[in-house]
Amino acid sequence: MIEGEATADAPAAQVAVLRLDLTDFRSYAQARLETDGRPVVLTGPNGAGKTNLLEAVSFLAPGRGLRRARLSEIDRQGGGAWAVAARLSSTSGEIAIGTGRDGSSDTSDRRLVRIDGQSVKGQAALAEYLNLVWLTPQMDRLFQEGAAPRRRFLDRLVFGYDPSHATRLGAYEQAMRERARLLRQGGADLSWIAVLEDTMAREGVAVAASRRDIAQRLDRAATEAAEAAFPVPGLVLTGTAEAWLAEMPALEAEDRLKRELVTSRRIDAESGGAVVGPHRADLAVRHKGKDRAAEHCSTGEQKALLISIVLAHARLQAALRGVAPVLLLDEVAAHLDGIRRRALFDHLLRLGGQAWLTGTDAILFAELGAKAHFFTVTDGIIAASPDPAGGGAGRGSP
């Protein structure tokens, strides 16, 4: 975990996607897109393949991508197993990252990862090189749905400060699944179940602590450096384990979680899950200006609150780690008025990090001018285009 608060306003170093190569990914048989680290603007009609490009970038970080699709569903129809490769700029120079579906069978959902040509076990290592945060139209209902999407949203933010969070979260979830399987079977080795519960307690409390820490930091950052054009969000992580951490040291919270898991074995055997643990936490968000829970705000206010959280995260990460995250913003500009759109663009440029933005109309992004790379996407073909203000173009290929 990163210690301390931001104390300087020095410009953030840049981590950016300089080249993106796709093979048999969704609508793309082969595609390449090259940038120099400026914001990337992808415009074109609906269904042209813009979001597919953002999804490809999203697989350069741990997780299931911005659509959370099964890996076998991403293969291009009639093609082979999909692959995404990228060259990144980083604080230590350029680095090559590659990932894709294991093509050993048509239905395999195992993901392969390579870093600088070397195979890497697991996806968690990707968090060491690239931190991504995205907003998509599907997330517009984030505050109306259950807690799981909000936990995933918060976890994506935590990865940017604490890359090992992905490893701990994976270990917790794996132990929870294995425990549930053994409890369902009945007559299982209780000593092995105890080992799994010990893992759940140790990793689970660490997961809860990281989430709680970042939620508190983001709450302060959003208030202290609020964007005038966007509402100020209040963030609180709720949950049983999270409440324990407010009352006792982490080791005591681990012991209590272990006791609760032992006590709930019979109930968990029937339900196939676990009645207590960080997998039941929730991120509660409020519109501070109106003192209103986000789920009771208008659709436009909810969208603006999400943008506020992402901007606060980008500022905080740039200050704490010296590196701004890469932002994937799908169809965001179309839902903002002119004032908020200008405020968003100004903030992205001040951050100095890379953002990928999509929209159907290039004129929405005209104020970015030559400060961004513009591409037109039509039927899976990427073509460099001049910016709407009359500047230069990026480099793309079909």
Q: What is the pLDDT of residue 327?
A: 96
d(CA 221, CA 201): 30
Residue spans of the domains in the chain: they are 12-131+323-398, 144-300
Q: What is the mean pLDDT of each run of 10 residues along the chain (398 residues)?
A: 44 81 96 94 95 97 92 93 94 91 86 94 86 92 94 93 91 96 85 96 98 96 84 96 97 98 95 94 97 95 94 90 91 90 93 93 93 93 84 50
Q: What is the pLDDT of residue 282?
A: 98
- Chain CA centroid to CA 395, Å: 26
What is the phi/psi pair of residue 234, to 5°? -110, 130
d(CA 23, CA 183): 42
Q: Which CATH architecture has domain 144-300?
A: Up-down Bundle (1.20)
Q: Are 40 and 394 in contact (CB under 8 A)?
A: yes
CA torsion 387→390→391→393, rounded to 10°? Answer: 50
The one-letter amino acid at 94: E
Q: Top-level CATH class of 12-131+323-398? A: alpha beta
d(CA 27, CA 44): 14
DSSP secondary structure string, 23-48? Answer: EEETTEEEEEEE--SS-EEEE--TTS
Q: What is the pLDDT of residue 380?
A: 84
